[in-house]
């Protein structure tokens, strides 16, 4: 393959907050290529990535992609072909290999091999297009004969209801780790992974900006479960006795971080906010209904204020630092197209 291997920390990947990159480095001797420090990542540019798995057919049409596309996301069939078709093949190989491993360990233990869903996490900032990525993958993975049943949940269903956020004084921190019922999400994933026949999750509405009372999504032993959300790669919380509890990502077989420059994500958030005035905000039940009548200047001010006070600090403090934990990073350019793909090999 024509992609380039990179040293950890090298290449186009900007430093996550708190990383060593960006600090002055001691001068070190040049390392000969054959003894260069090994890296757990393979970093491919778009062209090299899209040449992989060229024999895998693309089972979607332009109309399918239009149906799956989120507001403001220009994804088209060419993008799905170049980026998501190889990813679907890779996930198919990984899911099959994990199934075989599971069968082997059941045989060793003398247990009947019960299938357990292959769980994929999709992380990244607000407005980077996680939901489109997750929906496209759901559609592609469901076309493989081994995984026809693909379920998708978003972690916003596990946000505390607004009344509870207000009671805790953290309404301005929606999307931060503490705004979620983390125990509920862990219980949900443990039940899905244990192969329970029916597992329920609460539902969030972007329209009312709150949990929908008395509504639940039911997951019935899928072959694959995709779990999409800002904070799905958060490490476990330390416990009072010096240990740590389980993390959501402990239940993942594979994880994807949808990455973009922070300035691009901010612009996409503002653009989407402007578009939402004529669609979601125009509906009387929308939490943001009062913003439907704002002119462009007022709407841009309001969107930038929300971004700068909530979504940017959350990205910098909680989300971006988890990028290195992902199995695969999709790095988007300013036009939303994926420019590079980084896969963790080890």
Ligand X SMILES: CC(C)(COP(=O)(O)O)[C@@H](O)C(=O)NCCC(=O)O
Ligand Y SMILES: Nc1ncnc2c1ncn2[C@@H]1O[C@H](COP(=O)(O)OP(=O)(O)O)[C@@H](O)[C@H]1O
Contact 294, 302 (CB under 8 A): yes
For binding to ligand Y (CB under 6 A), which residues are involved? 70-71, 124, 126-131, 206-207, 276, 280, 288
CB under 6 A: which stretch of 2-10, 22-30, 141-149, 303-311 binds ligand X? 303-311
Nearest 5°: the CA angle 55, 140, 147 is: 100
Choosing from 3, 121, 175, 222, the residue that interacts with ligand X (CB under 6 A) is 175
CB under 6 A: which stretch of 3-11, 245-253, 254-262, 304-312 binds ligand X? 304-312
Of 79 and 156, CB closest to ligand X = 156
**Burial profile 152-161: b = 16 or more Cβ within 10 angstroms, e = fewer:** bbbbbbbbbe
Of 146 and 215, CB closest to ligand Y = 215
Of 110 and 213, CB closest to ligand X = 213
Choosing from 77, 282, 310, 337, the residue that interacts with ligand X (CB under 6 A) is 310
Q: 198 is written with which tokens?
A: 């029916």
CB of 297 to ligand X, least distance (A): 19
Residue 311 touches ligand X, criterion: CB under 6 A? yes
Residue 155 touches ligand X, criterion: CB under 6 A? yes
DSSP secondary structure letter of residue 227: E
Contact 170, 179 (CB under 8 A): yes
Distance of CA 208 to the CA centre of its chain: 23
Contact 180, 318 (CB under 8 A): no
d(CA 146, CA 163): 43
- The answer to whether the annotation marks 345 as part of a ligand binding site is no
Which residues of this chain interact with ligand X, rule CB under 6 A? 126, 154-156, 174-175, 229-230, 306, 310-311
């Amino acid at each position: 393959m024509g992609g380039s291997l990179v040293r950890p920390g090298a290449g186009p990947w900007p430093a996550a907050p708190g990383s060593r990159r960006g600090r002055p480095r001691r001068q070190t001797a040049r390392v000969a290529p054959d003894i260069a420090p090994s890296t757990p990542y393979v970093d491919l540019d778009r062209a090299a990535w899209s040449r992989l798995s060229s024999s895998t057919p693309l089972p979607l049409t332009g109309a399918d992609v239009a149906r799956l596309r989120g507001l403001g996301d220009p994804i088209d069939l060419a993008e799905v072909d170049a980026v998501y078709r190889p990813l679907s093949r890779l996930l198919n190989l990984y899911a099959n290999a994990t199934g075989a491993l599971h069968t082997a360990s059941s045989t060793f233990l003398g247990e009947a091999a019960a299938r357990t869903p292959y769980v994929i996490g999709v992380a990244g900032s607000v407005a980077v297009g996680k939901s489109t990525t997750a929906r496209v993958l759901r559609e592609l993975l469901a076309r493989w004969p081994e995984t026809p049943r693909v379920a998708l949940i978003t972690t916003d269903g596990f946000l505390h209801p607004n009344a509870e956020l207000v009671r805790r004084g953290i309404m301005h921190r929606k999307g931060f780790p503490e705004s979620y019922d983390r125990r509920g999400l862990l219980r949900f994933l443990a039940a899905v992974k244990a192969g329970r026949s029916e597992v329920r999750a609460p539902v969030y509405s972007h329209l009312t900006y709150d949990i929908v009372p008395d509504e639940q999504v039911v997951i019935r032993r899928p072959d694959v479960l995709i779990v999409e959300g800002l904070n799905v790669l958060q490490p476990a919380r330390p416990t009072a006795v010096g240990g740590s509890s389980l993390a959501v990502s402990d239940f993942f077989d594979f994880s994807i971080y949808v990455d973009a420059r922070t300035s691009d994500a901010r612009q996409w958030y503002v653009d989407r906010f402007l578009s939402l005035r004529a669609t979601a905000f125009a509906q009387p039940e929308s939490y943001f209904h009062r913003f439907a009548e704002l002119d462009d200047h007022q709407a841009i001010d309001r969107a930038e204020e929300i971004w700068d006070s909530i979504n940017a600090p959350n990205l910098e403090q909680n989300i971006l630092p988890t990028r290195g934990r992902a199995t695969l990073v999709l790095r988007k350019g300013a036009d939303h197209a994926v420019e590079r793909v980084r896969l963790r090999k080890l």
